[in-house]
Structure 1
């Protein structure tokens, strides 16, 4: 295990700054997920930790030692890339043991270590196969095994599941979680997939435009997003943002209903309502949704439509709820689950969180 500290880490390519001043502490044995849209800087930040890119400014420490300019090989880090990068002419066993071989380890040490890791990853029956004879999930496990045989205290994963189909991604998420539980190594994982982030992470680091927007546990970020960006990024379907007027301690909803809400005496805010945080009413309620499209997914019904003032809205209505396009569904939001965003995007109702930075 290892503790990683980033203090004012930044990265520029010429005049273009891709990573702002990032401060982040990753504790021993934590599973940290860096998440954000394409181009937000998460993979670049991972490469800075690995030493594959040079730091423009700031300090990187591993277990209290300054590693800012230390070569990658001396950082005690193993990295698994998006592409499997397996040698096609080598067997699974040869691929997994290659790192130890070039490090000069004797064969009598390599073979039992490869066998041990192969059993852990359920690859022991595939050791004599070449990569072309493996499935995508098996190839990814070989790539992980190649890193694991070296037993690094820190694992870095750069979108390792993005090349797999949905079913395999689900299986591999479970396997990665189980692997972390067994090993206890520090793991830093990059993805743009919020499901991977929510299911794997001890803590999530949400990034945008090279900066950290919020750090917290999955449920902290989901329930108490610091700003509109975090709120909209986590959740599927995404949070609804409804423009409302604040007046006399209440938000005036489309249709005229009033929702108690602390805030300025008079202002325009965006009310954040997650699709699952509404209940259906048999009588006219706070929100009247004119349904345009219905998704019947078996375990839930998702209705897409518009509110009385034309704003788009999505509601998760529960298991196989009877509703059709063209109908009006009356909804009441859960007052305890609301968010409210001012003109800067700040959540006026967010609870103060220890950011962990």
Structure 2
């Protein structure tokens, strides 16, 4: 099934998430062209969003579609920003895009979909959804109860691998996928830009940044503003204090720049001792590699997966996927053992599991 089409499109009402950028604008235009009754939706998540707010109004006017604007700043602060700051304070490196997609973007759009009695939600994500008969795929992927249900949905990577965003979507469920359309899943980014120009869509020219609510991507300034941190010792592999750190939240595993140790090195961040407020470093980059780690807060997109499982794991956005054995550990946690060592496996980040092009699920690295 084409991920951009559902049955009887001319009778379907669809809520399209607009951001002011080229991707969501083209997604809305394609759906309107296919015969959907399109409603635009824009959620204001933080203070510096006046420019996209203005832009989405121009896009909606150009497309001739109604636009719903919702102030979601309080909800965004509670569910995304507070999570982000709490994670750093606990010595973790969070993944706000994963949390935002599930807890904000899709949850709020589903709520609005119900309010306006729409049939589907669409976004400008680069990913694909297919509908699959369970009789074949459940047996192939080692699923239990292969006779039920009669079909299920699969989340797949985008055709344009350089823009693929499936990594951020592993928390979606079967219920979610049944109501989502990704119109850009089979397009190249260059084609999307060409279509926007051809349709004369008034979109923002700049691409979205890594962490949308951190001004100029200046993470140090942002964390320094909102977190209380204290200096502490930098400890090498032998247990010796070799310097002072600025505060544990300002460092992540594998980091080299910003470790202010004179005379020796270079050093890389290898760990953190939160209780003692110590930053653990190594002068041997080989110490940053591991083949075994734990994953918690797991979500399987298709719930019948049987463990242990051979799949590929991806531990950060656009990083290389590595073959791994995934087994069930204690308290529902997963034990991931990779065929090749992975560099800087970082607590708080997401480990996402793939079988070919399909996203099986994922969780948070412990």
TM-score computed with the length of structure 1 as normaliser: 0.25
Which one has the largest radius of gyration? 1
Higher strand proportion = 1
TM-score computed with the length of structure 2 as normaliser: 0.25
